[in-house]
Amino acid sequence: MKKIVVLLLTIFVCLCVQAQNNDNQRYLLTTKSSTFGVGLSDIIDPYLSPLVYSGVGLNYNLDTRRFLSDKNTNYSMQSTLALSGDFLLNPALSSEMIYLGINYGWGLNYHFRLNKNLKILAGGLWDIDFGFKNVSRNINNPVNLDMSTNLNLTGLLMYDWVLRKRTLHFQAKLQSPLIGCMFVPFGGASYYDMFEVGNLDQSFHFSSIHNKQGLNQTYTVDVPFYRSTWRFGLNIQSLKYKANDLVFKQDGMSLIVGTTFDDISFGGRKKLAPQNFISTNE
């Protein structure tokens, strides 16, 4: 009997140690937030028109963030994908503009932990931006393209407000272009001249805060519900840039709603899933 008890105790201890080993294993989670927004926007594109076009827009944002490694939780990497579409009218309502845009960015942030509930992330984000603007009634200048790449400064303030039943996660995110390159045509050049004849001289410009200024502000609150965490917020964008004597401006404000969740991915030879994780591939 004594032997049996010792044997059972040994097995129990071994299992506990094994379980403890699994508990010590750290996995990097990826925080993914996808949001949809609807709002108002104003665009001035003097290549197309000197007037302010105003209208409504829809946008979609996918934001993912994870730490660089499980040993260093001071740095996180971030990738963003933004899609937007606007329908705008000139002040006299005699002409319409369609705007379609896509932006992809990748960046790094350093985490300053000010206290248990408050932290600041600061860093940089390199992005590629492509926009298509169309004023169909224009003659020989119906389209203008926004093409640019920028290194942006990013800052993110996070605060967790602990309530009795749930914790609300507040975020204030700021992003501003710092340095980059952009395509801006001359006001008097047609796209025939630029792209069929090849007269592209001085259409690509170095950009920095002297000729390109913008601030993208996003204020959100993440509210955990029974099975998911929902994000609600406000996005305010302001961008102004100048080249070839033309001043372009794009302002927008939208209400956003979406979800945010943490996920973990396993794959390849090194990142195998633990036994207690069940994959649909099995």
Partner 1 sequence: MKKYIYILLLLVALLPSCIEEPAQQPNTFKGNFESLWKIIDTKYCYLDYKHINWDSIYIVYKQRVDTVKNQYAFFDLMGNMLGELKDGHVNLYSDFDQSHYWKWFTDFDPNFSSTLIFNSRYLGTDYRSAGGFRYKKINNGKVGYMYYDDFSDRFSDTNIAYIFKSFSDCEGIIIDVRDNGGGYLDSAEQLASYFFTEETVTGYISYKTSVGHSDFSKPVQITTPSHNTIQWARPVVVLTNRKSFSATNNFVCRMKLAPKATIVGDMTGGGGGMPLSSELPNGWLVRFSAEPMYDVNMNHIEWGIEPDVNDSLKVVDQANGYDTIIEKAIQIISQ
Binding residues for partner 1, per CB under 8 A?
Answer: 44, 46, 49-52, 90-95, 122, 137-141, 153, 155, 174, 176, 186-190, 192-193, 196-199, 201-202, 209-211, 213-215, 238, 240-242, 244-245, 247, 249
CB of 166 to partner 1, least distance (A): 31
Closest distance of CB 19 from partner 1, Å: 42
Residues 6+ apart with CB under 8 A from 32: 62, 63, 64, 260, 261, 262, 263
Choose between 177 and 258: whose C-beta lies nearer to partner 1: 177
CA-atom Rg of the chain in angstroms:
25
Distance of CA 117 to the CA centre of its chain: 23
Nearer to partner 1, 14 or 197 (CB): 197
Q: Which are the contacts of 186, defined by CB distance < 8 A and separation ≥ 6?
A: 202, 203, 244
Distances (CA, A) of 177 to 47, 173, 236: 22, 14, 15
Q: Nearer to partner 1 by C-beta: 44 or 234?
A: 44
Question: Rounded to 5 degrees, what are φ and ψ at 194?
Answer: -75, -45
**Which among 126, 87, 78 is positioned nearest to 103, based on CA atoms?**
126
The SS3 call for residue 62 is strand
CB of 178 vs partner 1, minimal distance in Å: 9
Distance separating alpha carbons of residues 52 and 248, to the nearest angstrom: 10
Q: Which is nearer to partner 1, 22 or 136 (CB)?
A: 136
Query: Would you tell me how many other CB atoms lie within 10 Å of the CB of residue 165?
Result: 5
Smallest gap from Cβ 99 to partner 1, in A, equals 17
- Pick between residue 117 and residue 193 the one whose CB is nearest to partner 1: 193
The nearer residue to partner 1, 92 or 278, going by C-beta atoms, is 92
Give the shortest CB-210-to-partner 1 separation in angstroms.
7
In whole angstroms, the minimum distance from the beta carbon of 69 to partner 1 comes to 23
